[in-house]
């Protein structure tokens, strides 16, 4: 993730982890719960993330840049193919 996208993060956004995967191969999702900034150092941020029901993380802006993907930049996502029931052709 680039630093420009980091400024656009807001509470409730969903981020995807680069290396941690779910059992079906999709990247793990993290919801942004809080964003803390400082007046004297506006480039510094501490971002609260939630995964699942009980797991909460606090990560710095550098960790977000290195380990997370913003939804607009989802790279190497595995797409589940859904079988269309109407695509079958019957031959009589």
CA distance 31 to 75: 18
* Range of the structural domain that residue 28 is part of: 3-76
- Residue 88 located in a structural domain: no
Say yes or no to pLDDT of 83 above 70: no
**Phi/psi at 67 (nearest 5 deg)?**
-115, 0
CATH number of the domain that residue 64 is part of: 2.30.30
What's the pLDDT tens digit per position in 49-63?
999 899 999 998 888
- Residue 86 located in a structural domain: no
What's the pLDDT tens digit per position in 1-49?
566 777 778 888 888 888 888 888 888 899 999 999 889 988 888 999 9
| pTM of the complete model | 0.68
- Residue 81 located in a structural domain: no
pLDDT at 33: 93
Q: How many domains are there within the chain? A: 1
Tell me if residue 5 falls in helix, strand or coil.
helix
């Amino acid at each position: 993730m680039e630093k420009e996208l980091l400024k656009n993060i807001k509470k409730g956004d969903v981020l995807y982890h680069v290396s941690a995967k779910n059992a079906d191969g999709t990247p793990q999702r993290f919801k942004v719960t809080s964003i803390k900034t400082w007046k004297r150092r506006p480039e510094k941020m501490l971002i609260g993330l939630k995964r699942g029901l009980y797991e909460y993380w606090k990560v710095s802006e550098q960790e977000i840049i290195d380990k997370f993907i913003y939804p607009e930049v989802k790279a190497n996502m595995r797409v589940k193919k859904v079988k269309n029931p109407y695509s079958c052709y019957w031959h009589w």
